[in-house]
Structure 1
Amino acid sequence: MNSIKTKEMTNFRWVMCALLFVATTVNYLDRQVLSLTWKDFIAPEFHWTDDNYGTITAVFSIVYAACMLFAGKFVDFMGTKKGYLWAIGVWSAGAVAHALCGWLTMHFEGYASVADMAAVQTGSAAALLIATTSVWLFVAARCVLALGEAGNFPAAIKVTAEYFPKKDRAFATSIFNAGASVGALAAPATIPLLAQYFKDAGIGGGWEMAFVIIGGLGFIWMGFWVFLYDQPEKSKHVNSAELTYIHQDDDEPVAKTDAEEKKETQIPFWSCFKYRQTWSFITGKFFTDGVWWFYLFWAPAYFSDQYGYKSSSSEAIMLIFTLYAIVTVLSIYGGYLPKLFVEKKGMNPYGGRMLSMLIFAFFPLLALFAQPLGAISAWWPAIIIGLAGAGHQAWSANLFSTIGDMFPKSTIATVTGIGGMAGGVGSFLINKGAGALFTYSEAQGSAFSFLGFDGKEAGYMIIFCICAVAYLCAWMIMKGLVPKYRPITK
């Protein structure tokens, strides 16, 4: 707004955005500990197969999906401050709980040490029992993690809607959503090295302390949140100029109170499903969230399986680091593109977002070349997956912002949770399917082929093909459901 003197304006909204960024970074660090330690640290102790790991990630995804369905409503009910505290407290406790799984397996199965479990003959009945027990213990810890993590994005999107006008929300979302990339970026440079350090120091298998240290970061964040967050109307850090800027989309310069807003615009939970806008968001999340989670959960194993790079090796660290560096740098601009369309082309925010999402939907098509070019060098799939992942993160930032475009603020967290549930279901399907496919294709060897690839390589090629086309399919369905800007005014 030209009438606002930006030089006199406080910029506390960006402090809030920074807090959301850190929370999302911690969120993804906690998710990545397992994916970066299971293949080379955990699997040898518990005799896991790809299918075992696929089961753990799939159950995490479906529990996350179920929790997301109600997490948004919980955040709306509890309020942003308390809701976010509960979420990160629970998921941090769940992250730390993973460290107990080895000790519990050892005692449940009656072994004197982890080394005794690892020494059991692979494929034997004893090994199968160890694998089964450990898998379900990890599943239990993963369920607690999923319960808490389900609250992150509903709360973060609600904060973004509270602190930013519509034209800035995609950019703010892309910044805090980049925490997913930064978390994934920091993870390979820290987690395998932590695990290796503590393993060499003789503290368990090493991976346990990685879970404890990374999981503990969330408790530190909670202290900052308690002292810094408040609604912008009540915050001592937000002056009148910034408050006017934040509420520039409102009919009145100051937003209604929570009680007034809830009374006038609250949409009952089940009533959300009668709107095409809700189903458009559900579609976008269902088709694409699983793609990102596949890259997140399986990339370290991919470079270990296909190229022999152990996750703690310098080669694997550089490959994963490069992959997520590309994602991090490029994805931030994803939220800026619709801002240009709105300010330079005069488009409405929803129209600018949908055009941006169409552009970003073409990036994942590059995944079709990851496996073929991998025959030349492992760097090609790292770069390609990085570009595809950047497309996803840019897509995701704009997809989240469509909720704020069309739903009242009191319902944003609820709809975010519903969409997150759909994304979790999609992730369950792709992770469980990938684990089963990789185990089967590896066992079949040359008898299993696809597009010129045999065995496990063929399995990876199939999943890459699915990841490549998911975004364009989602965009076409979304456009059919909500062809143009149509806010819900109830």
Structure 2
Amino acid sequence: MQKEKSTNYRWGVVGMLFMALTINYMDRQVLSLTWKDFIAPEFHWTNNDYGTITGLFSIFYAIGMLFAGRFMDWMGTKKGFMWAIGIWSLGACLHAFCGLATAAIVTGVWPESFRGAVEALSVVKNTTLIASVSVYLFVIARFVLAIGEAGNFPASIKAVAEYFPKKDRGFATSIFNSGAAIGPLIAPLTIPFLAKAYGWEMAFIIIGATGFIWMAFWVFLYKKPEENKWINAAELTYIQQDEKEFEELKAASTLERKVTYRQAFRHKQTWAFAAGKFMSDGAWWFFLFWTPAYLSSVYGLDSTQSAPQIFVMYAISMLSLVGGWLPTYYVDKKRMNPYEGRMKSMLIFAFIPLIVLFAQPLGYISVWIPVIIIGVALAAHQSWSANLFSTIGDMFPKHAIGTITGIGGLAGGIASFIMNKGSGVLFDYAESSSLSLLGFKGIESGYFIVFCLCAVTYLIGWSIMRALVPKYKIITEL
């Protein structure tokens, strides 16, 4: 009998996961690409106001990560992902109505249109009240967005586990995870132009609505492999080739107790991972949220003019693909244990962001120099981050990975809040006081200070991790 040719439906699932993460990153980028040119003039925002909004988003996202994995296990992949993207798409669209709500609260009359809200606010003399009310409303919208977005990665990992054997999961994950780079690539080429043509409100609505479109496909196309009519027996056999091992692990897991946070914090490995996240996530979120404002404040480029620079910056960040290869080289060729190979790789990636020290000093030559430097630093961060997450699996049992990941995510969120909020306060102070530092004046000196911090935090984080866990040690007592 002729052997049945396998279908490849599982790769279509990866494609949907890739689209979801792309939408995810576009939704969170709308604010950073519109606030400086469109939103701040309307609501009289300062850098401090924007820092408050982005900082709290980081906290909300981190807290959401603590519970998202357990929620996905409870709801299941299909329903859980539906809830996640539905909530974050709603949150994205809610941003558009913050102007209407601000005008209604300040004036006591609900405007009939977005343009009517702008006109109503333009005659109000109490600009401090407008700024305060609008910031609170954007924080609420940002909270909804963050809680929904926190479910993206746990749901995607769960879907990959359902549709791929173990040996293919790393490759499948790397494909859908590339959406974290593609989303920021597409965002500057679309969002500023939508805001300029139709208003910043429509930019939020149009980009946010793509999530609801994705949901329409997901509800019909995603089913468990054994229930999916588009998967034939050959592909199902391939997907379930680890089924026997899975059943053994499932039986063993009934003997394991759930890991508590108190138990996790007893181990230096937990603190090491949390320290690595705390020292590195702040830099990533700063560049993600503040680079468009940096190009505007220092180089006078509005969001449409800076679109090529933002695109190139994130295109360079895709060099991070080498981050997954280097530890394998050290393990296979240099015979290092996984932790040693990963830590050596992370040390290399920790040195690369030091080039950010030269972004401002060399920026007078061309705007492209800091853009390229930041892009390289972002690539180093993604390589660092991929290996940092892998250290959990190197040292902790599988049933503890979710708990440790959540702890690290919270640490990174706290750092991101401090970095974003602190940057906003610093930039306003530097601008108002004409702060002078090493030849830089005003807000340029503020960016120089933050760039210096972003450059050295990775080496500090690596040093703390190495001090806490100097040698490879597997945790067996959890």
Could you state the TM-score of these two structures normalised by the residue count of structure 1? 0.85
Pair 1:292–1:472, CA change in 2 (3 A): same
With over 3 angstroms needed to count, the CA separation of the structure-2 counterparts of 1:231 and 1:255, relative to structure 1, is: farther
Q: Does 1:269 align with 2:260?
A: yes
Shift of 1:94: 0.6
- Superimposed CA distance per residue, residues 228-248 of structure 1 (whole angstroms, 9 cap, x where no aligned partner): 55667887574434544xx4x
1:387 deviates by 0.3
Structure 2 residue corresponding to 1:219, chosen from 201, 204, 212: 212
Name the structure 2 match of 1:45.
42
Q: Which residue of 1 aligns with 2:456?
A: 469
1:334 offset after TM fit, Å?
1.8
| Corresponding residue for residue 350 of structure 2 | 361
Contact 1:10 1:241 in 2 (8 A): no
Is the deviation greater in 375-384 or in 80-89? Answer: 80-89
1:72 is the counterpart of 2:69: yes
Aligned twin of 1:31: 28
Q: Which moved more, 1:219-228 or 1:316-325?
A: 219-228
* 2:370 corresponds to: 381
* Matched-pair contact (CA < 8 Å) for 2:163–2:239: no
Cα shift readout 1:368-420 (whole Å, capped 9, x = no counterpart)? 11111111111011100000011111112222233334444444333322221
Deviation at 1:158, TM superposition (A): 4.6
Task: Report if aligned partners of 2:165, 2:238 keep a CA contact under 8 Å in 1.
Answer: no
Distance 1:138 1:182 in 2: 25
> In 2, Cα distance between the equivalents of 1:479 and 1:10?
46
Between 97-106 and 18-27, the greater mean CA deviation after superposition: 18-27
The answer to whether the 8 Å contact 2:18/2:176 transfers is yes
Deviations 1:254-287 (A, max 9, x none): 3127863652345333233333333222222211
Task: Say which is worse superposed, 166-175 or 295-304, in terms of deviation.
Answer: 166-175
Stretch of structure 1 that moved more, 226-235 or 214-223? 226-235
Question: Do the aligned partners of 2:427 and 2:447 also contact (CA within 8 Å) in 1?
Answer: yes
CA distance in 1, matches of 2:237, 2:336: 28
What is the SS of the residue equivalent to 1:331? helix
Partner of 1:324: 314
Cα 1:79/1:350, change in 2 over 3 Å: farther
Counterpart contact for 2:395–2:472, Cα < 8 Å: no
Cα distance in 2 for partners of 1:266, 1:85 equals: 30
Partner of 1:202: none
Shift of 1:484: 1.3
| Equivalent of 2:380 in 381, 391, 408 | 391
Structure 1 gap segments, 5+ residues each: 1-6, 199-205
What is the CA distance between 1:479 and its match in structure 2?
2.7
Q: Work out whether residues 441 and 455 of structure 1, in 8 Å CA contact, stay in contact via their aligned partners in 2.
A: yes
Name the structure 2 match of 1:90.
87
Is 2:292 the partner of 1:300?
Answer: yes
Q: Distance in 2 between matches of 1:117 and 1:49?
A: 21
Q: TM-score, normalised by structure 2?
A: 0.87
Q: Structure 1 counterpart of 2:32, which letter? A: S
SS of 1:361 mapped into structure 2: helix
Counterpart of 1:430 (choices 406, 413, 419) is 419
Deviations 1:313-363 (A, max 9, x none): 2xx1111111111112x0223223333334444444444333322221122
Rounded to whole Å, the distance in 2 between the matches of 1:263 and 1:15 is 33
Question: Gaps (5+ residues) in structure 2?
Answer: none
Distance 1:279 1:166 in 2: 29
8 A contact 1:361–1:391 mirrored in 2: yes
Pair 1:114 & 2:117 matched: yes
> Given that residues 25 and 184 in structure 2 are in contact (C-alpha distance below 8 angstroms), is that contact kept between their aligned partners in structure 1?
yes
Per-residue deviation, residues 271-307 of structure 1 (Å, max 9, x unmatched): 3333333322222221111111111100111101100
**Which aligned pairs between 1:431-470 and structure 2 lie closer than 5 A?**
431-445=420-434, 448-470=435-457
**Alignment counterpart, residue 240 of structure 1, candidates 233, 237, 241:** 237
- Distance in 1 of aligned mates of 2:352 and 2:259: 37
Cα distance, 1:133 vs structure 2: 0.8
Residue deviations 1:176-232, cap 9 Å, x none?
Answer: 33322211111100100111121xxxxxxx111111111122223334444555667
Q: Which amino acid aligns with 2:103?
A: M
Measured in 1, the distance between the counterparts of 2:77 and 2:252 equals: 15
Asked whether the 8 Å contact 2:259–2:399 carries over to 1, the reply is no
Structure 2 distance, partners of 1:266, 1:361, is 36
Distance 1:312 1:118 in 2: 25
Counterpart amino acid of 1:75?
Answer: M
Tell me the percent identity: 58
The CA distance in 1 between the partners of 2:11 and 2:71, in whole Å, is: 25
The corresponding residue for 2:139 is 139
Q: 1:184 to 1:266 in 2, by over 3 A?
A: farther
* C-alpha deviation, 1:154, in angstroms: 3.2
